[in-house]
Chain A
Amino acid sequence: MGVLIKHPLFSLRRYFGIFDSSCIITVILILFISIFLLYPVTKVFLYPSMAQYINAITRPLALRALYNSLFITLISTISSVFVGFLYAYTMNYTKIPGKIFFHTISILPLLSPPFVVALAWILLFGPRGLITYNLLRVRWNIFGWHGLWLVQTVAFFPYAYLVIDNVLSSIDPTLEYAAVNLGSTGKQTFLTITVPLALPGILNAALLNAIYILADFGNPIVIAGSWPVLPTTIYGLISGHYDVYSAAALSTMLLIPSIILYIISRSALGGKSYVTVTGRSSGLSRKLASPATTVMLFIFCSLVTFIIIAVYGVLLVGAFTETWGLKWGLTVRHWSALSGTALQSLINSLSCAIIAGFGAALLGLIGAQFIHKRLSHMMRFWDLTFVLPAAIPGVFLGIGYLLAFNGPPIVLSGTLFILILALLVWNIPIAYQACVAAIKQIGDEIPCAAVSLGASPVRAFLSTVAPLLRGPFAYGFVMGFLRAITNLSIVIFLIGPGRNVATVHIMNLIQYAEIPRAVVLTVALFGVAIIVAVLGQVVLGIPLFGRGKARRES
C-alpha cells in the first residue's frame, strides 16, 4: 500500500492546503472506538471497588457459576469440535451422496437465535415433549447440564465444522500419498500425517468455540434451569437483585478467560499453520477413507443432520399445532401473536440489525484501510481494538453499555440507538479481519502497477483494491446482520420500555411458558434471517456459506 500512503486517498490537502483527510478519518475512528468500546469496557472494570470485587467473587453462587461455566465450556467445546471434525472429515475424505445437503443443513444453527436449539429441545424432551411425554411417557428432567451439553454441541459444532473443513481441504494430498508410498497404512497415515497437520486448525476451532460457549447466554437461560453459569448468573444479579456491582465484577471474571483464549488463538497458533500453498499440484486427488469408515461416517453425519432437521422441523410444526403435546390439530391461530408488541419487536430487530451490520462492515472496511496499515506501536494498539470485540462476551458488552451510557456525559439508555451502537461495535471484527486479509492478499504491487500505468492513486484504489474488498465488505455486512438480529446476550441489558427486540421478547414468552407464541416469533425471526442470508448469496453474488472461497476470508 506504499503508493496509497504517499498519496492519501481523499487528500483534502488538494482542496484546503493544510489537512490530510486520511489523518482526520484515523482520528475519527480512534475517537469512535475510544467512546463506544474502550469507555464501556473500562467502565465495567472500574465500577466495583476492590472490596466489592472480592465480595462478589467469593460468594458461593459466583464460585459455582464460575466452576460450572468452565466445566460446560470444556465438555461442550470437546464434543462440538469432535462432531465438527468428523463432519469436516466426511466432507473431505469420502465420496458420499448429498454433500451439499449435509453442508446446508449444518449451516442452519449459524443463522438462528442462540436459544432455538434449546427451545426445540423443550418441545421434544420437555415436560410436554413429543418424545418424553407422547412417545415414551417418561418424565426426564432435561433442565440442567446434560441438556445444556447436548444443546450446545448441536448449536456450536457448525462453527468448528467450518474452520476444520477449511483446514482439511487445504492439506496437500501429496503428503498423504508420500506417507502411503513410504509404507504406511490408511490408519497410520491418518494418525501420523492428517491429524498432526490439521491439529493447529482443530485447536484454533476449539479455542474459538470455547469463547462462544463461555459467552453463551441464550441456551443456558432456556435449558440450564437452576444450574447456574456465569452469563445467566450475571443476568440474574441485575434483573433480580439490581446488584450491578456484583454483576460487573462477575462480568470481568467472564471476560478474563475469554481474552486469554483469544490471545492464545491469535498468537500461539497464528503463525503455526502447516497449510502450505505450493503452486504445482500433483494431479492426485485426495486419498479417500476406506469403505467401512465411509459408511460409518455417513451414518454419523446423517444422524447429526437428522437431529438438526428435527430441531427446526419441530419448531415449524410447533408453530402450526393446536396445543403441543395434547391437541395435535393444525392451526394458524398462534400466528395472530405476530402483531402488536411482538410485531414491533421484530421490526425493531430487523432495523437495528440492518443498521448495525452495515455500520460494522463500513467501519471494518475503513479501519482496515486506515488503521491496519500504520504499523507504528501506537497503531498496533488500535489495530488490536478493532479485533478485540470478537473476544468480548455479549453479557460483558451489554453491561458495559448499560453502565456507560446511563448517565452523563452521554445518555443513550432506553433508545434503539444504544442497541445499534453496541451491536455495531461488537461486529466490527468480522469485516475488519476479512478486509485486512483481502488487502494483504492484494499486496502492494497491484495498485502500484495501476499507478505505474498512469492511473491516479484514487483511480488505482477504485479499480484494483475496491473490487476485491466488495466481498469482505458484503461478508462483514451479512454476518454482522445475522449476529445482530439473533443476539440476546447484549440486547437483554439494553432494551428500554416500548423498545423491545424479538430475541428478548421470545425469551420473555418462554419464561412465561407461552411456548406457542415464542415458537411463532422464533420461526418468523429465523425466516427473516434466512431471507437475508439467501439475499446476501443471490444479490451480492458471494457464496457466504458455500464450502470454499468465502470462509477463507473469515
Chain B
Amino acid sequence: MEYLELSRISKRFGKVIAVDELNLSIKRGALVTLLGPSGCGKTTTLHILAGFIQPDKGEIYLNGQLINHLPPHHRGMSLVFQSYALFPHMTVYNNIAYGLKIRRIPRNEIKARVTKIMEVVGLQGLEKRYPHQLSGGQQQRVALARALVVQPYVLLLDEPLSNLDAKLRVAVRTEIRKLQREMNITIVYVTHDQEEALSISDFIALMYQGRLVQFGTPQDLYYAPANQFVADFIGGSNFISGVITHCTKTECQFSVGNYNFWGRVVNANLHFKIGDMVLAAIRPDHISLNFAQPETKTNVLEGKIIDTAFLGGKTRIWVQIVDQEMLFIVDIPNISTTHLLQNQKCWLSVQPSDVMIIEKL
C-alpha cells in the first residue's frame, strides 16, 4: 500500500455525481496532479482529502491508517486555497504562525520556524504587512508558507496559480517544484491547465465527469493516451479513423479513404484484427509540412492551407484535407523565408511512431 491511498471514493451532490469510484495511489514525496476540465470532481476530491467533505463511499488511507473518521483539524493535510484564504485581520507573520499557535508550540520555536519558512519562500521583511498590502505573487507565497510551516503529511494545492499572471505562473510553479524536491513533500495538486500539469508533475491523474480516466507520468499521458479524451485534453490532437488492413503486435496499417497509414499501438492491452475500425491521434507538432509531393504515399495527406496563426515560437496552420471532411492542425517551427499562402497546396507527412492508435471504435 502506498503512502496515500484513495480506494473507491464516491460522492454525489443531489443528482450530480461529483466523484465516481475513484482509486488513487500516491507515493511518498511525489507530486501528483489532479487534472481535468472544470466540474470533473478534482476539487471535490481535494476537499474529501482535507476532510471538508465526507465521501459517500470509499476509504482514504494515510501511511496505512484509515483516516475517513478524522476531523479536518487532525488530518495534517494543509490546503492552499485557490483564493489563498489569507486571514485579512492578521499580519503576514500571524497568518503563517496561525497553525503553530493553534498547536500550542512554544513562542520562540514558532518564531524560528516562521522566520525559516519565510526565508525559504522569499518573504523576508514582510512580516508586519497585511494581506491586502501584498501583491498577488506575495499573497501566494504567504499561503504556501502558512501551509508548509505546520509540516503537513500531505500538501494540497487547489489551482494555486490561477490568480497569477501568465509570467508569474511559470516562475512560481518552478519554485513550487524546486521546494517540493528539496523538502521531499508529498503534494496533491489540482489544476485544469494541462501544460502546468505536464511541467510540474511526477504523476498526473486525469479526471473526467468524476471518473479517473488515466493515471501515469506526464510522458505516459502524452505519448500513450488511453483514449480520445486524453489525447485531446493533453497536448491536443488531430484524429483520424480508419479500417485495419495489416497488423503486427505493436504496429498496424489502416486506411482512411484513399490514404494509408502505419501507426503505433499505444496500449499493449489493445488487440486488433483486420477489418476493425480504429481511432488514431496525431499531435500537431509531429507533422511535417511539404510543398512538394513526397515519394512515398504511406503516412501522407494531401491538402490546402486554410488559415495560419503566428504563435511566437511556432506557427499554427489549418489544413483542409483533399477528399476527406477533415481539418488538420499543424504546428511548425517558424521559417522566416517561408511565405504561407491561403489555398496553397501542401502535403502532410508523419512518422509511423507518431500515429498513435488509441481506441477501437
Contacts and interface: CB of A to CB of B under 8 A. Distances in A.
B85 A184 contact: no
Contacts of A183: 73-74, 99, 102-103, 150
B81 A197 contact: no
Interface in B66-107: 71-74, 77-79, 81-83, 85, 87-89, 98-99, 102-103
B83 A174 contact: yes
Contact of A182 (B44, B52, B150, B158): B150
B89 A178 contact: no
Contact of B85 (A174, A192, A196): A174
Interface stretch (A212-220, A272-280, A299-307): A272-280
A283 interface: yes
Interface string B116-150: 00000000000000000000000000000011001
Interface string B268-284: 00000000000000000
A178 B87 contact: yes
Interface string A284-298: 100000000000000
B255 interface: no
Contacts of B73: 180-185
B50 interface: yes
Q: Which 8 A-B pairs have the closest CB atoms?
A: A182-B99, A178-B85, A174-B85, A274-B88, A184-B102, A183-B102, A180-B72, A196-B89
B78 A181 contact: yes
Contacts of A175: 85, 87-88
A339 B74 CA distance: 70
B345 interface: no
Contacts of A278: 83
Contacts of A197: 88-89
A193 interface: yes
- Chain B: interface size category: 20 to 34
A511 interface: no
Interface string A151-191: 00000000000000000000010110111111111001000
A282 interface: yes
A333 B47 CA distance: 66
B43 interface: yes
Contacts of B43: 282-283
Interface of B: 43-44, 47, 50, 52, 71-74, 77-79, 81-83, 85, 87-89, 98-99, 102-103, 146-147, 150, 158, 162-163
11 contacts: A172-B83, A174-B83, A178-B87, A181-B52, A182-B98, A183-B150, A184-B98, A184-B99, A192-B102, A197-B88, A283-B43
A168 to B, nearest CB: 15
Interface of A: 172, 174-175, 177-185, 188, 192-193, 196-197, 199, 274, 276, 278, 280, 282-284
Nearest to B77: A181
Contacts of B99: 182-184
Nearest to A173: B85
Most B C-beta atoms less than 10 A away, residue of A174, A179, A182, A188: A182
Given A179-B87, A196-B89, 15 more contacts: A172-B85, A174-B81, A175-B88, A178-B79, A182-B78, A182-B146, A183-B99, A274-B88, A276-B88, A278-B83, A280-B82, A282-B43, A282-B83, A282-B158, A283-B43
Contacts of B98: 179, 182, 184, 192
B89 A188 contact: no
Given A182-B150, A188-B102, A282 B87 contact: no
B82 A181 contact: no
A179 B81 CA distance: 11
Contacts of A193: 87
B162 to A, nearest CB: 8
Nearest to B75: A181
A183 B82 CA distance: 19
Nearest to A196: B89
Most B C-beta atoms less than 10 A away, residue of A181, A185, A197: A181
Nearest to B43: A283
Contacts of B79: 177-178, 181
B89 A282 contact: no
Contacts of B82: 280, 282
Contacts of A192: 98, 102
Contacts of A177: 50, 52, 72, 79, 81, 85
Given A282-B81, A282-B82, A283-B43, A181 B72 contact: yes
B81 A274 contact: no
Contacts of B103: 183
A223 to B, nearest CB: 40
Nearest to A278: B83
Most B C-beta atoms less than 10 A away, residue of A179, A180, A276, A280: A180
